[in-house]
Amino acid sequence: MVLESIAILGGLALLVWSADKFVDGAAATAGHFRMPALLIGMLVIGFGTSAPEISVSVLAAGQGNSGLALGNAYGSNITNIALILGVSALLAPITVHSRVVRREIPVLLASTVLAWWLLSDGDFSSADAGVQLVLFSALVGWSVWEGLRESRDALGAELTGELPDLPLRAGLFWLVVGLVLLVVSSRLVVWGAVGLAQAFGISDLIIGLTIVAIGTSLPELASAVAAVRKGEHDLALGNVIGSNLFNTLLVAALAGAILPHTVDPALLERDFPVLMMLTTALFAMAYGWGQQRITRVGGGILVVAFAGYTAWLIAEVL
């Protein structure tokens, strides 16, 4: 188990580092081609911060580990809302100013409901994956339109000061190097996670929901905490919402397209209700109650919910 544990820890560390370099390289390259800051944030950085989940889930599905693939995607969503936004709101209440972010929250809620409905028959078919990929393509088109139209949005203003200042050659270098290392580190994580699950008789779904999901969400945690400390609330919330949309409509869908499979009943009976409740709570706190704010009390509730959910998973293993 020593080699598997080292592979997971080392792979996750390399995964986080390479994702950060990939995002810097991609954002800098896009900036040199005069792409608007808001569009870079919604698409380029959105893809980049979800790159760990994409690479791990695609590789896991390609190797026949569907539980690990879906556990990583939906577990990351749970971690993003409950842990990352919870911790961020405890540091400073998150106020939503961006019109784009406010519009994305109900889209995320609707996408989560759709994903639950598609999987509710117990099968993740190619048709189910196709529906989500079509919707993801529509979301990309909408993001391009919003990014070009909303030139004065609060999120775009916050992003302008956060884009890396790299020469084009350096941006392209880190774009390629980051992508290569993402693939290498993902292989390490998947190999270690599968080996650990088999050795202890734990389902790969549980491993995906816990160790792998938390590990692949570390870039979002770092960026959200840094953004909140700088007072860039829309950037912190926008990164989480964007990542969850990518995980729901792209990461999980790619896993289903590569490996159509029967869904573990525990995902529908235990994990999706938790995800639905957290996404609904996010909608209520940041949009539905009209306050457009996640308070410290709300952040504390989210963190307690994450701790309770994690304890529930550990208790099932024990």
Among 32-41, 95-104, 187-196, whose mean pLDDT is lowest?
Answer: 32-41
The confidence band for 261, taking pLDDT boundaries of 50, 70 and 90, is confident
Provide the 10 A C-beta neighbour count for residue 145. 11
The pLDDT of residue 73: 93
Write down the domain spans for the chain.
2-317
Tokens standing for residue 298: 């709300």
Q: What per-residue confidence (pLDDT) applies to 108?
A: 92
Give the angle subtended at the CA of 244 by the CAs of 126 and 117, to the nearest 5°.
45
62: left (phi over 0), alpha (psi -120 to 50) or beta: alpha
The whole-angstrom separation of Cα 154 and Cα 149 is 13
Over residues 169-179, the pLDDT tens digits come to 888 898 888 88
CATH of the domain spanning 2-317, picked from 3.40.50.1100, 1.20.1420.30, 1.10.340.70, 1.20.120.80: 1.20.1420.30
pLDDT higher than threshold 90 for residue 97: no
Q: Is the per-residue pLDDT at 269 higher than 90?
A: yes
Average pLDDT over residues 173-196: 86
Average of per-residue pLDDT values in the chain: 84
pLDDT at 278 over 60: yes
Residue with tokens 């990542």: 243
> What confidence score (pLDDT) does residue 15 get?
81
Higher pLDDT, 129 or 285: 129
Task: Give the range among 49-58, 77-86, 214-223, 254-263 with minimum mean pLDDT.
Answer: 214-223
pLDDT value of residue 277: 95
18-30 per-position pLDDT tens digit: 877 887 887 788 7
- What is the C-alpha separation between 118 and 249, in angstroms, rounded? 12
DSSP per residue, 215-264: HHTHHHHHHHHHHHHTT-HHHHHHHHHHHHHHIIIIIHHHHHHHS-EEPP
